[in-house]
Structure 1
Amino acid sequence: MAHVQQLGNQPLRTCIGCRKKGPRSELLRLVSDTGGSSAVVVDERRRMAGRGAWLHPSEACLALAVKRRAFGRALNGSTGTAAVERRITAGAHAADVPASAVPTVQPESGSEI
């Protein structure tokens, strides 16, 4: 019960890969593409219409979800996971880059000549 009190009123969702529950803020929301294809897309803003599924943004959970064929069951036949794979691998590579290697963008002041 103490674990629930620490999370406050934040909703819990179940990852379709590892089947563990976690706060909504830690998982990616996935939906079927509205274009009539069987593709699965990442709902970055968590606002797209339709049935959603949740996945931890890790390659391990993605592999488990693909192995278990969880996308087709959770999203009514949607199986194209290319967009999800790109999002997760891009996030993993961004975490590998040290902060000192990322260039800092300086705002324009307008007074420089």
Structure 2
Amino acid sequence: MKLHQQRTCIGCRTITSQDELLRWVLNQEAPLRGVQLDLSGAASGRGAWTHGTEKCVQHAVRRKAFSRAFRSSVNDSCVAQQFAAYEDQSAKGRLSGNHDESGSEI
């Protein structure tokens, strides 16, 4: 039996399985340390987690939760744009009939 890691959403502060959350990491290349969505979950370094809802992402930005999670000042101005792009991409995947779990098409 595989144990599921528990993480806390920095937007709503709810503890949830890591499988149900999105991981955000710091982009070290920018002059101002920016926040970047880590869809693969393989980026190195500290991560911050949010639910895949606009409400939780907006709460995290408004509460300056990314700065607290990464323990430094970060530029979180592009978070909303990245989340919107993620939603568009996942909506297109659902409409095309592709299933990531099984690898089959409808």
Deviation, structure 1 residue 80: 2.4
Partner of 2:38: 43
Question: Pairwise CA RMSD of aligned residues?
Answer: 2.6
Q: What stretches of structure 1 of length at least 5 have no aligned partner?
A: 1-7, 105-113
Corresponding residue SS for 2:48: strand
AA paired with 1:45?
Answer: S
Q: What stretches of structure 2 of length at least 5 have no aligned partner?
A: 99-106
Looking at structure 1, the residues matched to 92 and 85 of structure 2 have their Cα atoms a distance apart, in angstroms, of: 10
The reply to whether residue 58 of structure 1 matches residue 53 of structure 2 is yes
Looking at structure 1, the residues matched to 97 and 41 of structure 2 have their Cα atoms a distance apart, in angstroms, of: 29
Cα distance 1:46–1:98, how it changes in 2: closer, same or farther (>3 A)?
closer
Larger strand share, 1 or 2: 2
Identity, % of aligned pairs? 34
1:71-113 deviation digits (Å, cap 9, x = unpaired) = 111112213241x3234223444549973xx489xxxxxxxxx
Cα distance 1:97–1:52, how it changes in 2: closer, same or farther (>3 A)?
closer
The reply to whether residue 77 of structure 1 matches residue 88 of structure 2 is no
The reply to whether residue 14 of structure 1 matches residue 38 of structure 2 is no
Looking at structure 1, the residues matched to 7 and 25 of structure 2 have their Cα atoms a distance apart, in angstroms, of: 14
- Bigger-Rg structure (1/2): 1
Deviation, structure 1 residue 67: 1.5
Q: How many residues align?
A: 95
AA paired with 2:59?
Answer: L
Looking at structure 1, the residues matched to 27 and 93 of structure 2 have their Cα atoms a distance apart, in angstroms, of: 31
Looking at structure 1, the residues matched to 43 and 21 of structure 2 have their Cα atoms a distance apart, in angstroms, of: 15
